[in-house]
Amino acid sequence: MTVGALWTATMSFIKEIYDSQGFVIVPNLVSTDDLEKLRTACDTVVGRTRNGHWPHRRVVGKQFPPFDSDNPDSWGVQHLMHPDLGPPASVFAKWYSSDTLVGAAKELLQCEDKDMQMELFNLLINPESHKFALRWHRDDVKGDATEDEERKALAAWNGGVQWNSALYEDSCLYIVPGSHLKTRTDEQRKHSNTMDPPANPLDMPGAIRVTLQPGETVFYNSNILHCATYDHECKRATLHATIGDARKGAGRARNILQHGLTWMQEERFRDQLDERGKAMLDRLLLLQQTTRDVGYSLDN
């Protein structure tokens, strides 16, 4: 078998697992060379976030945006490709539009290059001095949704892929395999229809803990039931990003644009991207433009 044929076989295998289980772990999307460059870039932006010089962060105590609390301890750094981050932003942007990563996203979305839409690119980190946890949730379905609302939301969900790429060993994420296809059982609802973080995430029926080795990536349907626990004593630097299928139009707007991506309209951002990155950006700018024109509401 040639390398090309092996890649194609592996890729169709990941699609099958991703569709049926709602997640798939792929080992080889960060090269050894990139691993070092990305770790160095992360150290810089994490330092800047912790010393208060980067305002776009996810703060301990808050699960979703807006992250407007005064708590200085952070569990995430937002907008890794933002030109105000200087040289690290270019390292992140180069990897985001790399052949291997975009190749996997195209396979999972069954898309071509012309459909790839630039979206979110953030970093998940260990807080410096607090333990923190995210409660069980689906990213785009409310915890108190009725069974009928949940069924409709799961059926409607489509058009993007989300992933975590670990630069250090990472065991923070818990998921319920297959739950992207099913409404919750009564017992699962009890564990996810609450604002409280789980005492033990494995109390959730069907839950497993995901462990990634450095350089491994988990792609997951963001409507799979998931939660996460953060340990301030264990170093975490995990790239957390999404790519969309531009053919889905406004369907992705609420999930993506609530994170505040207007800075992507700046020419100096565009200038730091390669040709594929620029084309992906154009599709996001079009989404911003069309959702603004129709007055799309982001607060529901």
Ligand X SMILES: O=C(O)CCC(=O)C(=O)O
What DSSP designation does 43 have? H
Q: How far apart are CA 285 and CA 292, in angstroms?
A: 11
Q: Please give the radius of gyration of the chain, using alpha carbons only, rounded to the nearest integer.
A: 18
What residues numbered 133-152 form the site for ligand X, per CB under 6 A? 134, 139
Q: Which does 188 bind (CB under 5 to 8 A by kind): ligand X, Fe ion, none?
A: none
Q: Residue 299 is encoded by which pair of tokens?
A: 């607060």
Q: How far is the CB of 82 from Fe ion (least distance, A)?
A: 21
Q: Is 118 helix (H, G, I), strand (E, B) or coil?
A: strand
Note whether 139 binds Fe ion by CB under 5 A: yes
Q: Which is nearer to ligand X, 83 or 122 (CB)?
A: 122
- Return the residue nearest ligand X (CB atom): 228
**Residue 164 touches which member of Fe ion, ligand X, none, C-beta under 5-8 Å by kind:** ligand X
Helices (DSSP H) in the chain: which residue ranges?
Answer: 3-21, 32-50, 87-96, 99-109, 147-156, 186-192, 253-257, 267-271, 275-293
CA distances from 15 to 118, 203, 222 (A): 21, 29, 15
Residue 156: CB minimum distance to ligand X, A: 19
**Residue 180 binds to ligand X (criterion: CB under 6 A):** no
Q: How many CB atoms lie within 10 A of CB 168?
A: 17
Q: Based on CB atoms, which residue is closest to Fe ion, 132 or 269?
A: 132
Q: Does 287 bind ligand X (CB under 6 A)?
A: no
Nearest to ligand X of 106, 138 (CB atom): 138
Q: Which residues make up the interface to Fe ion (CB under 5 A)?
A: 139
Q: Which residues make up the interface to ligand X (CB under 6 A)?
A: 124, 134, 139, 164, 172-173, 226, 228
